[in-house]
Structure 1
């Protein structure tokens, strides 16, 4: 029997990996850091591959793992990862399914919310000028904000891992303007942090409920603090679902032929 290539790194990918393993459907999860390995269960049939897949090592990975299908459960903003997976599926005729975490219905939330289509749009304007800004956008984009360190007071919440902390410091964030926490974060803690730092503006991604977007929208409304949401990149996926059970059915049909 071949294996499923599950592109991991998200809460949903951990749920999918567990479901596949308990269903006795062989699966290889790919993650980029060693710390992510501990987030996946140690169950027979489930393997975790650590490292960045590139055009140079991808072919060997697919062959060695006997990949029969791809389930893309990467983060909504991991555009390059999804593009590589889609290209691989197309070039090699491998069935592909994208799991997209459900988006929030913004009309259900009150508060001062501004949705922008990109970080370029945010940074080219004066939205951040002279504000006390909390960034909950992931560590990879923090270098983009380096120019704004002298024009506003920036704070960042990042994951408690070395590469996140190193990237934040390199982007000009001092230790007193950083907090390392792993989600989920309750509304009470979120609100206390914003008050403690005297935040006047929050920037986040449209990461859905799984990414805590609902909590940020709720707290922003409660504290009357403006919230800027960077919307999800628009990609055309060969096949897309927001239903975890559909992912399991997709994998079972391909591996078991029923």
Structure 2
């Protein structure tokens, strides 16, 4: 039986890695958390899509039962709790583990805060419309901002659960954009201008997360850029290095 490689992640890196690895003589398992993540995933005879949320204990049990040769954690850089669970499960099961790390991007024109709560605290002391590009996960945190419904326009993935969450929290329908990236600088800038954004809020999501395009577009639209930083102590190879490892280990010829 061909060896099993288990990739965790609904990120673009996880999908690209699974797509590329379809050419290798291995069995692939790609774990995603949502219907939307499953819809975006590649398809192949040697690829199994797992759409489920697993606790560390459940992961450990699956690892012990299925015995993958390798686990690759390609989850989002801000999904720290998920990464901790995957790492703990692999350690408990004795499974080789690789954390695929998305390289950081920096800009001198941004204001940086360390958390979503700190972003809300900062914005509460400012004026003007806000364009939020941090996704649906932290919408409840931003809903604590005074006048959030009238100040915030937000962009989320076109997933029903994300839209339902935004509406349930009281965000205005006319200020919700449901779109899947990638977004160009000009498209970002057009959205920022349309909503007359004085502030653009983004995660430090790296090149694959469209950070450069958002930073350049904010400057082009005359908006201030507020960046929520991520943990800076994460260690691991980037996408190209992980793919090279798979090719060297499993490639033929």
Q: TM-score, normalised by structure 1?
A: 0.88
Question: How far is the alpha carbon of 1:147 from its aligned partner?
Answer: 1.8
- Per-residue CA deviations over 1:4-38 (Å, capped at 9, x if unaligned) read 11012111111100121112222101001123223
The answer to whether residue 115 in structure 2 is matched with residue 118 in structure 1 is: yes
The answer to whether residue 140 in structure 2 is matched with residue 143 in structure 1 is: yes
Which residue of structure 2 lines up, in the alignment, with residue 106 of structure 1? 107
SS in structure 2 at match of 1:19: helix
Q: Distance in 2 between matches of 1:87 and 1:216?
A: 34
SS in structure 1 at match of 2:42: coil
* 1:146-165 correspondence to structure 2 within 5 Å: 146-150=143-147, 153-165=151-163
2:204 to 187, 203, 206: 206
Question: How far is the alpha carbon of 1:232 from its aligned partner?
Answer: 1.2
Q: Distance in 2 between matches of 1:92 and 1:77?
A: 25
RMSD: 2.2
* 1:59-138 correspondence to structure 2 within 5 Å: 59-107=60-108, 112-126=109-123, 129-138=126-135
Which residue of structure 2 lines up, in the alignment, with residue 241 of structure 1? 237
| Number of positions where the alignment pairs a residue of Structure 1 with one of Structure 2 | 250
Q: Which has the higher contact order (CA 8 A, sep 6+)?
A: 1
Question: How far is the alpha carbon of 1:98 from its aligned partner?
Answer: 1.0
Q: 1:49 to 1:200 in 2, by over 3 A?
A: same
SS in structure 2 at match of 1:241: coil
- Determine if contact 1:3/1:255 at 8 Å carries over to the other structure: no
Which residue of structure 2 lines up, in the alignment, with residue 250 of structure 1? 245
Which residue of structure 1 lines up, in the alignment, with residue 59 of structure 2? 58
SS in structure 1 at match of 2:91: helix
Q: Distance in 2 between matches of 1:123 and 1:199?
A: 16
Q: Distance in 2 between matches of 1:94 and 1:58?
A: 11
Q: Distance in 2 between matches of 1:91 and 1:26?
A: 22
Give 5+ residue unaligned stretches, structure 1.
none
Give 5+ residue unaligned stretches, structure 2.
none
Question: How far is the alpha carbon of 1:223 from its aligned partner?
Answer: 2.3
Which residue of structure 2 lines up, in the alignment, with residue 42 of structure 1? 43
Q: 1:64 to 1:35 in 2, by over 3 A?
A: farther
Question: How far is the alpha carbon of 1:254 from its aligned partner?
Answer: 6.1
SS in structure 2 at match of 1:106: coil
Q: Distance in 2 between matches of 1:134 and 1:251?
A: 39
- Determine if contact 1:143/1:170 at 8 Å carries over to the other structure: no
Q: TM-score, normalised by structure 2?
A: 0.90
- Determine if contact 1:3/1:68 at 8 Å carries over to the other structure: yes
Q: 1:105 to 1:201 in 2, by over 3 A?
A: closer
- Per-residue CA deviations over 1:228-251 (Å, capped at 9, x if unaligned) read 0111124544xx11142x213434
